[in-house]
């Protein structure tokens, strides 16, 4: 077994958002395909929501990658908090109109009157819960004009006050929710990521008991699973370099999973 195999596997689970790392799972694919169909409809605003770590940002990146050659699509992965800066960015990215200095909402709407698109530009807004209520209201009003279509992501929380507001709900014509993975889905997720990099031997080391234990610690949350597996392979890499006789190359040790869980704060002793 190559000395770098555990490091290669570890790097697969870095906490990065890269559409090339998108893993196709049946239930996730249903949501993605529903979003693609929603884009074709005369909807003003589409909501993608779910708990942190369920793959919302990854799905937006995949949408952007799949659509940018077919229509005008803009992705704002980092919220632009300042209203004037947001409107200036939107004017430039959507209308290719550069504005120096302040740009207010009225002036932005006036700019939009000069532009017509066969297909409304699609703006993907990640982490929309970070925008102020005042700016979100402006975004909603822009969507009402049907000049620009928005897909926004929000965290699903215990108190979904932003989603629950009546003036917000009336402007969302469709919503899709992402969930944590089941134990069986998590096994497919882990093995697909490993097989994609030709880490066949490592993928075969996981069994149902391993994955159920990982699921117990992470509840199937993709971000937490990535963190736990990164730490797990980091441990394996250390043992391979320093105490190779202590590890098996045929199956993943539940003890090692527990050690990674303690290191990652998923298990307290």
Q: How confident is the model at residue 17 (pLDDT cuts 50, 70, 90)?
A: confident
Q: What is the pLDDT of residue 168?
A: 56
Q: What is the pLDDT of residue 15?
A: 86
Q: What is the pLDDT of residue 1?
A: 45
Q: What is the pLDDT of residue 250?
A: 94
Taking CA atoms, 34 is separated from 26, 30, 192, 212, 242, in Å, by: 12, 6, 23, 29, 49
Q: How confident is the model at residue 179 (pLDDT cuts 50, 70, 90)?
A: very high
Q: Average pLDDT in the 56-66 region?
A: 96
Q: What is the pLDDT of residue 162?
A: 53
Here the tokens at position 185 are: 């889905």
Lateral strand order in the sheet of 174-178: 73-76, 122-125, 149-155, 45-50, 174-178
Angstrom distance (rounded) from CA 175 to CA 40? 14
What are the residues facing 150 on neighbouring strands? 45, 123
Looking at the chain, the number of H-run helices and the number of E-run strands are 13, 5
Give tens-digit pLDDT for 213-223: 999 999 999 99
Give tens-digit pLDDT for 229-262: 999 999 999 999 999 999 999 999 999 999 999 9
Quick count: other Cβ atoms within 10 Å of Cβ 187?
20
Is residue 39 over pLDDT 70? Answer: yes
8 Å CB contact between 218 and 184: no
What domains lie within the chain, and their CATH numbers? 5-17+181-264 (1.10.8), 26-178 (3.40.50.300)
Angstrom distance (rounded) from CA 150 to CA 137? 13
Sequence-separated (6 or more) residues with CB below 8 Å from residue 137: 167
Q: How confident is the model at residue 99 (pLDDT cuts 50, 70, 90)?
A: very high
Give tens-digit pLDDT for 146-176: 899 999 998 876 555 555 454 455 556 788 9
Q: Extract the runs of DSSP E, i.e. beta strands, from the chain.
A: 45-50, 73-76, 122-125, 149-155, 174-178
Quick one: DSSP state of residue 256? H
| Secondary structure element (H or E) that encloses residue 210, with its range | helix 208-218
Is residue 45 over pLDDT 70? Answer: yes
């Amino acid at each position: 077994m190559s000395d770098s195999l555990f490091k290669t596997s570890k790097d697969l689970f870095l906490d990065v958002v890269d559409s090339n790392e998108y893993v196709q799972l049946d239930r996730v694919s249903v949501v993605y395909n529903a979003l693609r169909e929603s884009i074709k409809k005369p909807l003003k605003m589409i909501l993608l929501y779910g708990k942190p770590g369920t793959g919302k940002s990854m799905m937006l990146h995949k949408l952007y990658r799949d659509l940018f050659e077919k229509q005008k699509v803009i992705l704002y992965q980092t919220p632009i908090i300042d209203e004037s800066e947001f409107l200036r960015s939107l004017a430039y990215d959507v209308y290719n109109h550069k504005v120096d200095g302040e740009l207010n909402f009225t002036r932005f709407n006036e700019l939009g009157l000069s532009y017509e698109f066969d297909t409304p530009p699609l703006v993907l807004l990640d982490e929309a819960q970070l925008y102020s209520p005042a700016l979100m209201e402006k975004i909603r009003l822009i969507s009402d004009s049907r000049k620009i279509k928005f897909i926004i992501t929000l965290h699903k929380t215990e108190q979904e006050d932003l989603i629950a507001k009546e003036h917000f709900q009336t402007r969302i014509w469709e919503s899709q929710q992402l969930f944590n993975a089941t134990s069986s889905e998590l096994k497919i997720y882990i093995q697909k990521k490993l097989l994609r990099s030709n880490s066949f031997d490592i993928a075969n080391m996981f069994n149902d008991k391993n994955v159920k234990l990982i699921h117990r610690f992470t509840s199937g949350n993709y971000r937490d699973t990535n963190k736990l597996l990164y730490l797990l392979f980091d441990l394996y890499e250390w043992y391979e370099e320093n105490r190779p006789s202590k590890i098996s190359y045929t199956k993943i040790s539940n003890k090692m999973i527990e050690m990674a869980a303690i290191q990652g704060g998923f298990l307290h002793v």
